[in-house]
Structure 1
Amino acid sequence: MDPIVEVVAVLLGFIGWVMVGVALPNRYWRTSTVDGNVITTSTIYENLWMSCATDSTGVHNCREFPSLLNLSGYIQASRALMITSIVLGTFGLLAALIGVQCSKAGGEDYVLKGKIAGTAGVLFLLQGVCTMVAVSWYAFNITQDFFDPFYHGTRYEIGEGLYIGWCSAVLAIAGGACLTCSCKTGTKEKYPLPYQSRGTAYSGAAPTRSVANSTYGRNAYV
Protein backbone atom coordinates (compact mmCIF):
# COMPACT_ATOMS: atom_id res chain seq x y z
CA MET A 1 0.00 0.00 0.00
CA ASP A 2 1.09 3.57 -0.60
CA PRO A 3 2.85 4.87 2.55
CA ILE A 4 1.13 8.24 2.08
CA VAL A 5 -2.27 6.56 2.36
CA GLU A 6 -1.14 4.82 5.54
CA VAL A 7 0.04 8.09 7.06
CA VAL A 8 -3.28 9.76 6.20
CA ALA A 9 -5.16 6.81 7.72
CA VAL A 10 -3.14 7.03 10.94
CA LEU A 11 -3.74 10.78 11.06
CA LEU A 12 -7.51 10.25 10.70
CA GLY A 13 -7.46 7.62 13.43
CA PHE A 14 -5.45 9.89 15.71
CA ILE A 15 -7.82 12.84 15.21
CA GLY A 16 -10.79 10.56 15.84
CA TRP A 17 -9.17 9.28 19.03
CA VAL A 18 -8.52 12.82 20.27
CA MET A 19 -12.09 13.85 19.51
CA VAL A 20 -13.42 10.93 21.56
CA GLY A 21 -11.41 12.26 24.48
CA VAL A 22 -12.94 15.69 23.89
CA ALA A 23 -16.51 14.42 23.53
CA LEU A 24 -16.53 12.21 26.63
CA PRO A 25 -16.08 14.99 29.25
CA ASN A 26 -18.01 17.57 27.22
CA ARG A 27 -20.89 18.91 29.32
CA TYR A 28 -23.24 19.66 26.44
CA TRP A 29 -24.56 16.26 25.41
CA ARG A 30 -28.10 17.56 25.74
CA THR A 31 -29.39 21.05 26.49
CA SER A 32 -32.68 22.67 27.38
CA THR A 33 -33.70 26.29 27.93
CA VAL A 34 -36.28 27.17 30.56
CA ASP A 35 -37.82 30.54 29.68
CA GLY A 36 -38.74 33.10 32.30
CA ASN A 37 -37.82 36.65 33.22
CA VAL A 38 -34.29 38.03 33.19
CA ILE A 39 -33.39 36.23 36.41
CA THR A 40 -35.22 32.95 36.09
CA THR A 41 -34.31 32.13 32.48
CA SER A 42 -31.82 29.29 32.66
CA THR A 43 -30.13 26.71 30.49
CA ILE A 44 -29.91 23.12 31.65
CA TYR A 45 -27.31 20.84 30.12
CA GLU A 46 -26.18 17.31 30.89
CA ASN A 47 -23.64 14.72 29.83
CA LEU A 48 -22.86 11.18 30.96
CA TRP A 49 -21.54 12.30 34.33
CA MET A 50 -23.35 15.37 35.62
CA SER A 51 -26.20 17.84 35.23
CA CYS A 52 -25.62 21.59 35.17
CA ALA A 53 -27.73 24.75 35.09
CA THR A 54 -26.80 28.30 34.12
CA ASP A 55 -28.98 31.39 34.53
CA SER A 56 -28.97 34.54 32.45
CA THR A 57 -26.54 36.25 34.83
CA GLY A 58 -23.85 33.66 34.12
CA VAL A 59 -24.05 31.82 37.43
CA HIS A 60 -23.90 28.07 36.92
CA ASN A 61 -24.18 25.12 39.22
CA CYS A 62 -23.35 21.47 38.51
CA ARG A 63 -24.03 18.26 40.36
CA GLU A 64 -22.78 14.80 39.60
CA PHE A 65 -25.21 11.95 39.21
CA PRO A 66 -25.50 10.44 42.71
CA SER A 67 -25.74 6.75 41.84
CA LEU A 68 -24.68 4.68 38.86
CA LEU A 69 -27.41 2.11 39.45
CA ASN A 70 -30.06 4.83 39.52
CA LEU A 71 -29.22 6.02 36.00
CA SER A 72 -31.07 5.05 32.86
CA GLY A 73 -29.76 2.00 31.05
CA TYR A 74 -28.74 3.89 27.92
CA ILE A 75 -26.59 6.29 29.95
CA GLN A 76 -24.75 3.40 31.58
CA ALA A 77 -24.27 1.71 28.21
CA SER A 78 -23.03 4.95 26.61
CA ARG A 79 -20.49 5.36 29.39
CA ALA A 80 -19.15 1.86 28.87
CA LEU A 81 -19.04 2.22 25.08
CA MET A 82 -17.21 5.55 25.19
CA ILE A 83 -14.59 4.27 27.62
CA THR A 84 -14.15 1.14 25.49
CA SER A 85 -13.77 3.37 22.45
CA ILE A 86 -10.89 5.28 24.06
CA VAL A 87 -9.13 2.06 25.07
CA LEU A 88 -9.49 0.56 21.58
CA GLY A 89 -8.24 3.76 19.99
CA THR A 90 -5.19 3.81 22.26
CA PHE A 91 -4.14 0.29 21.30
CA GLY A 92 -4.99 0.98 17.67
CA LEU A 93 -2.79 4.07 17.61
CA LEU A 94 0.16 2.18 19.13
CA ALA A 95 -0.23 -0.64 16.62
CA ALA A 96 -0.53 1.80 13.73
CA LEU A 97 2.71 3.57 14.67
CA ILE A 98 4.48 0.19 14.53
CA GLY A 99 2.76 -1.17 11.43
CA VAL A 100 3.12 1.66 8.94
CA GLN A 101 5.88 1.24 6.36
CA CYS A 102 7.61 4.51 7.18
CA SER A 103 8.12 3.44 10.81
CA LYS A 104 11.31 1.64 11.87
CA ALA A 105 9.78 0.30 15.09
CA GLY A 106 8.67 -3.02 13.59
CA GLY A 107 11.87 -3.81 11.71
CA GLU A 108 12.07 -4.52 7.99
CA ASP A 109 9.56 -7.39 7.84
CA TYR A 110 6.90 -5.67 5.76
CA VAL A 111 4.61 -8.69 5.77
CA LEU A 112 4.46 -8.57 9.58
CA LYS A 113 4.13 -4.80 9.55
CA GLY A 114 1.22 -5.10 7.14
CA LYS A 115 -0.55 -7.49 9.51
CA ILE A 116 0.05 -5.14 12.45
CA ALA A 117 -1.32 -2.23 10.40
CA GLY A 118 -4.37 -4.32 9.53
CA THR A 119 -4.91 -5.08 13.23
CA ALA A 120 -4.67 -1.35 13.98
CA GLY A 121 -7.29 -0.72 11.31
CA VAL A 122 -9.66 -3.21 12.94
CA LEU A 123 -9.16 -1.51 16.32
CA PHE A 124 -9.92 1.89 14.78
CA LEU A 125 -13.04 0.44 13.17
CA LEU A 126 -14.21 -0.93 16.52
CA GLN A 127 -13.48 2.43 18.12
CA GLY A 128 -15.64 4.20 15.55
CA VAL A 129 -18.46 1.68 15.90
CA CYS A 130 -18.49 1.98 19.72
CA THR A 131 -18.55 5.77 19.52
CA MET A 132 -21.27 5.78 16.87
CA VAL A 133 -23.49 3.43 18.87
CA ALA A 134 -23.02 5.42 22.09
CA VAL A 135 -23.84 8.86 20.70
CA SER A 136 -26.61 7.61 18.40
CA TRP A 137 -28.32 5.72 21.21
CA TYR A 138 -28.10 8.78 23.44
CA ALA A 139 -29.49 11.03 20.68
CA PHE A 140 -32.31 8.57 19.99
CA ASN A 141 -33.52 8.84 23.59
CA ILE A 142 -33.35 12.64 23.43
CA THR A 143 -35.52 12.82 20.32
CA GLN A 144 -37.88 10.13 21.61
CA ASP A 145 -38.63 12.12 24.77
CA PHE A 146 -38.76 15.41 22.89
CA PHE A 147 -41.47 14.28 20.46
CA ASP A 148 -43.42 12.19 22.98
CA PRO A 149 -46.67 14.08 23.73
CA PHE A 150 -47.12 12.19 27.00
CA TYR A 151 -43.66 13.02 28.34
CA HIS A 152 -43.92 15.63 31.12
CA GLY A 153 -40.26 15.96 32.06
CA THR A 154 -37.65 18.38 30.74
CA ARG A 155 -37.42 18.29 26.97
CA TYR A 156 -33.80 18.33 25.87
CA GLU A 157 -32.19 18.92 22.50
CA ILE A 158 -29.02 17.49 20.99
CA GLY A 159 -25.87 19.18 22.27
CA GLU A 160 -22.47 19.80 20.76
CA GLY A 161 -20.92 16.81 22.52
CA LEU A 162 -22.91 14.42 20.32
CA TYR A 163 -21.81 16.17 17.13
CA ILE A 164 -18.18 15.85 18.22
CA GLY A 165 -18.78 12.17 18.87
CA TRP A 166 -20.31 11.63 15.43
CA CYS A 167 -17.37 13.34 13.72
CA SER A 168 -14.97 11.23 15.77
CA ALA A 169 -16.73 8.02 14.73
CA VAL A 170 -16.64 8.90 11.03
CA LEU A 171 -12.92 9.75 11.13
CA ALA A 172 -12.05 6.59 13.05
CA ILE A 173 -14.02 4.37 10.66
CA ALA A 174 -12.42 6.02 7.62
CA GLY A 175 -8.90 5.65 9.01
CA GLY A 176 -9.56 2.08 10.11
CA ALA A 177 -10.87 1.08 6.69
CA CYS A 178 -7.72 2.39 4.99
CA LEU A 179 -5.41 0.63 7.42
CA THR A 180 -7.30 -2.64 7.15
CA CYS A 181 -6.70 -2.65 3.40
CA SER A 182 -2.93 -2.51 4.04
CA CYS A 183 -2.91 -5.98 5.59
CA LYS A 184 -1.02 -8.23 3.17
CA THR A 185 -0.30 -11.93 3.22
CA GLY A 186 3.14 -13.15 2.30
CA THR A 187 3.57 -15.27 -0.79
CA LYS A 188 6.61 -17.41 -1.48
CA GLU A 189 8.03 -17.42 -4.95
CA LYS A 190 7.92 -20.85 -6.55
CA TYR A 191 11.00 -21.88 -8.47
CA PRO A 192 11.07 -24.78 -11.03
CA LEU A 193 12.37 -28.11 -9.83
CA PRO A 194 15.84 -29.25 -11.01
CA TYR A 195 14.36 -31.83 -13.38
CA GLN A 196 11.67 -29.57 -14.77
CA SER A 197 11.81 -26.94 -17.45
CA ARG A 198 9.12 -24.56 -18.53
CA GLY A 199 6.37 -26.45 -20.29
CA THR A 200 8.25 -29.79 -20.28
CA ALA A 201 8.51 -32.49 -17.63
CA TYR A 202 11.16 -35.21 -17.75
CA SER A 203 10.81 -38.62 -16.18
CA GLY A 204 13.61 -40.52 -14.51
CA ALA A 205 13.93 -43.05 -17.38
CA ALA A 206 16.24 -42.27 -20.27
CA PRO A 207 14.44 -41.33 -23.48
CA THR A 208 14.41 -44.02 -26.20
CA ARG A 209 14.46 -43.51 -29.92
CA SER A 210 14.11 -45.90 -32.79
CA VAL A 211 17.50 -46.46 -34.33
CA ALA A 212 15.98 -47.05 -37.71
CA ASN A 213 13.97 -43.88 -37.59
CA SER A 214 16.94 -41.88 -36.46
CA THR A 215 19.15 -43.25 -39.28
CA TYR A 216 16.77 -43.54 -42.18
CA GLY A 217 13.90 -41.48 -43.25
CA ARG A 218 10.45 -42.84 -43.96
CA ASN A 219 11.31 -43.25 -47.65
CA ALA A 220 14.10 -45.75 -46.90
CA TYR A 221 11.59 -48.54 -46.47
CA VAL A 222 10.36 -50.15 -49.70
Structure 2
Amino acid sequence: MDPIVEVVALILGFIGWVMVGITLPNRYWRTSTVDGNVITTSTIYENLWMSCASDSTGVHNCREFPSLLALNGYIQASRALMITSIVCGTFGLLLALIGVQCSKAGGENYVLKGRLAGTAGVLFIFQGLCTLIAVSWYAFNITQEFFNPLHAGTKYEIGEGLYMGWCSAVLAIAGGACLTCSCQMGTEEKYPLPYQSKGTVYSGPAPTRSVAASTYGRNAYV
Protein backbone atom coordinates (compact mmCIF):
# COMPACT_ATOMS: atom_id res chain seq x y z
CA MET A 1 0.00 0.00 0.00
CA ASP A 2 1.28 3.45 -0.88
CA PRO A 3 0.65 5.85 2.05
CA ILE A 4 0.79 8.96 -0.13
CA VAL A 5 -1.83 7.64 -2.54
CA GLU A 6 -4.00 6.60 0.41
CA VAL A 7 -3.87 10.08 1.94
CA VAL A 8 -4.72 11.73 -1.41
CA ALA A 9 -7.60 9.30 -1.91
CA LEU A 10 -8.86 9.98 1.61
CA ILE A 11 -8.80 13.73 0.99
CA LEU A 12 -10.64 13.35 -2.33
CA GLY A 13 -13.25 11.11 -0.74
CA PHE A 14 -13.73 13.52 2.15
CA ILE A 15 -14.18 16.53 -0.16
CA GLY A 16 -16.63 14.56 -2.29
CA TRP A 17 -18.58 13.54 0.82
CA VAL A 18 -18.76 17.16 2.03
CA MET A 19 -19.91 18.37 -1.38
CA VAL A 20 -22.68 15.75 -1.44
CA GLY A 21 -23.86 17.07 1.92
CA ILE A 22 -23.92 20.59 0.47
CA THR A 23 -25.57 19.53 -2.79
CA LEU A 24 -28.52 17.73 -1.21
CA PRO A 25 -30.09 20.75 0.58
CA ASN A 26 -29.07 23.22 -2.14
CA ARG A 27 -32.17 24.99 -3.45
CA TYR A 28 -30.91 25.69 -6.95
CA TRP A 29 -31.23 22.34 -8.66
CA ARG A 30 -33.26 23.93 -11.43
CA THR A 31 -34.11 27.57 -12.05
CA SER A 32 -36.44 29.57 -14.27
CA THR A 33 -36.68 33.33 -14.74
CA VAL A 34 -39.98 34.96 -15.62
CA ASP A 35 -39.23 38.26 -17.37
CA GLY A 36 -41.38 41.32 -16.82
CA ASN A 37 -40.93 44.86 -15.65
CA VAL A 38 -38.76 45.82 -12.71
CA ILE A 39 -41.41 44.78 -10.20
CA THR A 40 -42.82 41.61 -11.72
CA THR A 41 -39.57 39.88 -12.75
CA SER A 42 -39.29 36.73 -10.65
CA THR A 43 -37.10 33.67 -10.38
CA ILE A 44 -38.42 30.20 -9.61
CA TYR A 45 -36.03 27.56 -8.33
CA GLU A 46 -36.51 24.06 -6.99
CA ASN A 47 -34.64 21.12 -5.52
CA LEU A 48 -35.66 17.68 -4.31
CA TRP A 49 -37.55 19.01 -1.31
CA MET A 50 -39.17 22.36 -2.06
CA SER A 51 -40.09 25.00 -4.62
CA CYS A 52 -39.16 28.65 -4.11
CA ALA A 53 -39.78 31.95 -5.85
CA SER A 54 -38.13 35.35 -5.49
CA ASP A 55 -38.87 38.69 -7.12
CA SER A 56 -36.74 41.68 -7.94
CA THR A 57 -37.48 43.26 -4.56
CA GLY A 58 -35.69 40.41 -2.77
CA VAL A 59 -38.74 38.68 -1.32
CA HIS A 60 -38.39 34.89 -1.15
CA ASN A 61 -41.22 32.45 -0.70
CA CYS A 62 -40.69 28.70 -0.37
CA ARG A 63 -43.04 25.78 0.07
CA GLU A 64 -42.19 22.16 0.63
CA PHE A 65 -43.65 19.53 -1.62
CA PRO A 66 -46.84 18.45 0.17
CA SER A 67 -46.88 14.78 -0.78
CA LEU A 68 -44.13 12.29 -1.50
CA LEU A 69 -46.34 9.99 -3.54
CA ALA A 70 -47.54 12.89 -5.72
CA LEU A 71 -44.00 13.66 -6.89
CA ASN A 72 -42.57 12.51 -10.17
CA GLY A 73 -40.76 9.19 -10.09
CA TYR A 74 -37.35 10.64 -10.93
CA ILE A 75 -37.55 13.04 -7.96
CA GLN A 76 -38.31 10.19 -5.58
CA ALA A 77 -35.49 8.10 -7.05
CA SER A 78 -33.07 11.04 -6.85
CA ARG A 79 -33.92 11.50 -3.19
CA ALA A 80 -33.22 7.86 -2.44
CA LEU A 81 -29.97 7.88 -4.41
CA MET A 82 -28.67 11.02 -2.73
CA ILE A 83 -29.44 9.71 0.75
CA THR A 84 -27.77 6.41 -0.13
CA SER A 85 -24.78 8.35 -1.38
CA ILE A 86 -24.36 10.18 1.91
CA VAL A 87 -24.71 6.97 3.93
CA CYS A 88 -22.12 5.14 1.78
CA GLY A 89 -19.76 8.09 1.99
CA THR A 90 -20.06 8.20 5.78
CA PHE A 91 -19.21 4.52 6.21
CA GLY A 92 -16.48 4.78 3.59
CA LEU A 93 -14.89 7.71 5.39
CA LEU A 94 -14.90 5.85 8.72
CA LEU A 95 -13.34 2.73 7.19
CA ALA A 96 -10.76 4.81 5.34
CA LEU A 97 -9.69 6.56 8.55
CA ILE A 98 -9.05 3.15 10.12
CA GLY A 99 -7.59 1.44 7.06
CA VAL A 100 -4.91 3.92 5.96
CA GLN A 101 -1.38 3.09 7.08
CA CYS A 102 -0.75 6.44 8.73
CA SER A 103 -3.65 5.86 11.11
CA LYS A 104 -2.93 4.29 14.49
CA ALA A 105 -6.44 2.87 14.71
CA GLY A 106 -6.70 -0.84 14.05
CA GLY A 107 -3.19 -1.64 15.29
CA GLU A 108 -0.49 -2.92 12.95
CA ASN A 109 -2.49 -5.62 11.20
CA TYR A 110 -1.78 -4.34 7.70
CA VAL A 111 -3.70 -7.12 6.00
CA LEU A 112 -6.86 -6.11 7.84
CA LYS A 113 -6.15 -2.42 7.28
CA GLY A 114 -5.71 -3.08 3.57
CA ARG A 115 -9.05 -4.82 3.37
CA LEU A 116 -10.75 -1.97 5.23
CA ALA A 117 -9.15 0.57 2.90
CA GLY A 118 -10.27 -1.43 -0.13
CA THR A 119 -13.83 -1.62 1.22
CA ALA A 120 -13.76 2.14 1.84
CA GLY A 121 -12.68 2.69 -1.76
CA VAL A 122 -15.60 0.61 -3.03
CA LEU A 123 -18.01 2.62 -0.87
CA PHE A 124 -16.58 5.88 -2.20
CA ILE A 125 -17.06 4.65 -5.75
CA PHE A 126 -20.63 3.61 -4.95
CA GLN A 127 -21.22 7.04 -3.41
CA GLY A 128 -20.01 8.76 -6.57
CA LEU A 129 -22.13 6.54 -8.81
CA CYS A 130 -25.28 7.19 -6.77
CA THR A 131 -24.68 10.94 -6.91
CA LEU A 132 -23.87 10.83 -10.61
CA ILE A 133 -27.03 8.90 -11.45
CA ALA A 134 -29.23 11.17 -9.32
CA VAL A 135 -28.03 14.50 -10.72
CA SER A 136 -27.75 13.23 -14.30
CA TRP A 137 -31.29 11.80 -14.20
CA TYR A 138 -32.59 15.08 -12.79
CA ALA A 139 -30.73 17.09 -15.44
CA PHE A 140 -32.03 14.80 -18.20
CA ASN A 141 -35.62 15.56 -17.23
CA ILE A 142 -34.88 19.29 -17.16
CA THR A 143 -33.46 19.28 -20.66
CA GLN A 144 -36.22 16.97 -21.92
CA GLU A 145 -38.93 19.36 -20.70
CA PHE A 146 -37.03 22.42 -21.91
CA PHE A 147 -36.71 21.20 -25.51
CA ASN A 148 -40.19 19.67 -25.64
CA PRO A 149 -42.41 22.05 -27.66
CA LEU A 150 -45.55 20.40 -26.26
CA HIS A 151 -44.60 21.03 -22.63
CA ALA A 152 -47.05 23.63 -21.31
CA GLY A 153 -45.55 24.05 -17.84
CA THR A 154 -42.62 26.07 -16.61
CA LYS A 155 -39.40 25.40 -18.44
CA TYR A 156 -36.41 25.21 -16.13
CA GLU A 157 -32.67 25.31 -16.65
CA ILE A 158 -29.88 23.46 -14.87
CA GLY A 159 -29.01 25.04 -11.55
CA GLU A 160 -25.77 25.26 -9.59
CA GLY A 161 -26.72 22.38 -7.32
CA LEU A 162 -26.38 19.88 -10.17
CA TYR A 163 -22.91 21.13 -11.06
CA MET A 164 -21.84 20.68 -7.46
CA GLY A 165 -23.26 17.16 -7.55
CA TRP A 166 -21.27 16.29 -10.67
CA CYS A 167 -18.08 17.61 -9.10
CA SER A 168 -18.66 15.62 -5.91
CA ALA A 169 -19.32 12.45 -7.92
CA VAL A 170 -16.06 12.82 -9.85
CA LEU A 171 -14.06 13.43 -6.66
CA ALA A 172 -15.64 10.47 -4.88
CA ILE A 173 -15.05 8.08 -7.78
CA ALA A 174 -11.45 9.27 -8.19
CA GLY A 175 -10.75 8.91 -4.47
CA GLY A 176 -12.36 5.48 -4.32
CA ALA A 177 -10.43 4.25 -7.35
CA CYS A 178 -7.12 5.45 -5.92
CA LEU A 179 -7.87 3.90 -2.53
CA THR A 180 -8.90 0.58 -4.04
CA CYS A 181 -5.89 0.35 -6.33
CA SER A 182 -3.37 1.37 -3.67
CA CYS A 183 -4.25 -1.36 -1.22
CA GLN A 184 -3.43 -5.06 -1.51
CA MET A 185 -6.56 -6.81 -0.36
CA GLY A 186 -6.12 -10.26 1.10
CA THR A 187 -2.36 -10.46 0.55
CA GLU A 188 0.27 -10.92 3.19
CA GLU A 189 3.09 -8.43 3.47
CA LYS A 190 6.25 -9.80 1.93
CA TYR A 191 9.09 -9.68 4.39
CA PRO A 192 12.72 -10.68 3.61
CA LEU A 193 13.88 -14.10 4.69
CA PRO A 194 15.79 -14.25 7.98
CA TYR A 195 19.55 -13.85 7.72
CA GLN A 196 21.55 -17.05 7.57
CA SER A 197 25.28 -17.17 8.13
CA LYS A 198 27.39 -18.37 5.27
CA GLY A 199 28.87 -21.82 5.55
CA THR A 200 29.44 -25.06 3.73
CA VAL A 201 26.56 -27.44 3.71
CA TYR A 202 27.48 -31.10 3.37
CA SER A 203 25.08 -33.63 2.08
CA GLY A 204 25.31 -37.37 2.17
CA PRO A 205 24.50 -40.36 4.35
CA ALA A 206 24.85 -40.04 8.07
CA PRO A 207 28.05 -41.57 9.48
CA THR A 208 27.86 -44.89 11.23
CA ARG A 209 28.37 -45.26 14.96
CA SER A 210 31.86 -46.68 14.52
CA VAL A 211 32.99 -43.82 12.31
CA ALA A 212 31.46 -41.30 14.67
CA ALA A 213 33.22 -42.88 17.62
CA SER A 214 36.60 -42.93 15.84
CA THR A 215 36.39 -39.27 14.94
CA TYR A 216 35.18 -38.15 18.31
CA GLY A 217 37.40 -35.47 19.82
CA ARG A 218 39.24 -34.73 16.58
CA ASN A 219 39.29 -31.36 14.95
CA ALA A 220 36.69 -31.47 12.18
CA TYR A 221 38.59 -28.88 10.11
CA VAL A 222 41.89 -30.80 9.97
What range is the shorter-chain TM-score in? Answer: 0.7 to 0.9
Report if aligned partners of 2:101, 2:113 keep a CA contact under 8 Å in 1. Answer: yes
Q: Matched residues in 1 for 2:138 and 2:33: separation?
A: 19
Higher deviation after alignment, 166-175 or 176-185? 176-185
Determine the C-alpha separation between the residues in 2 that align with 1:144 and 1:188: 53
Deviation at 1:206, TM superposition (A): 6.0
Secondary structure of the corresponding residue to residue 37 of structure 1: coil
- Residue 24 of structure 2 corresponds to 24
Alignment of 1:68-147 (within 5 A): 68-147=68-147
The answer as to 2:166 corresponding to 1:166 is yes
State the one-letter code of the partner of 1:80.
A
Instruction: Output the TM-score relative to the length of structure 2.
Output: 0.84
Which runs of at least 4 in structure 1 moved beyond 6 Å after TM superposition? none
Instruction: State the SS of the aligned residue for 1:44.
Output: strand
CA distance in 2, matches of 1:63, 1:41: 19
- The secondary structure found in structure 2 opposite 1:149 is coil
> Could you say what secondary structure the match of 1:151 adopts?
coil
Q: Could you tell me which amino acid in structure 1 is paired with residue 134 of structure 2? A: A
AA at the equivalent of 1:176 = G
Deviations 1:11-39 (A, max 9, x none): 00000000000000000000000011111
1:43-58 equivalence runs, <5 A: 43-58=43-58
Shift in CA distance, 35/168, structure 1 to aligned 2, threshold 3 Å: same
**Amino acid aligned to 1:143:** T
Distance 1:2 1:51, change over 3 A: same
**In the aligned structure 1, how far is the partner of 2:142 from the partner of 2:93?**
32
- TM-score norm. by structure 1 comes to 0.84
Give the SS at the match of 1:32: strand
Residues paired across the two proteins, number: 196
Question: Could you tell me how far 1:59 is from its partner in structure 2?
Answer: 0.6
Q: Is the 8 A contact 2:14 2:93 kept in 1?
A: yes
**What is the CA–CA distance in structure 2 between the aligned matches of 1:63 and 1:128, rounded to whole Å?**
29
Q: Distance in 2 between matches of 1:28 and 1:158?
A: 8
Secondary structure at the aligned position of 1:150 is classed as coil
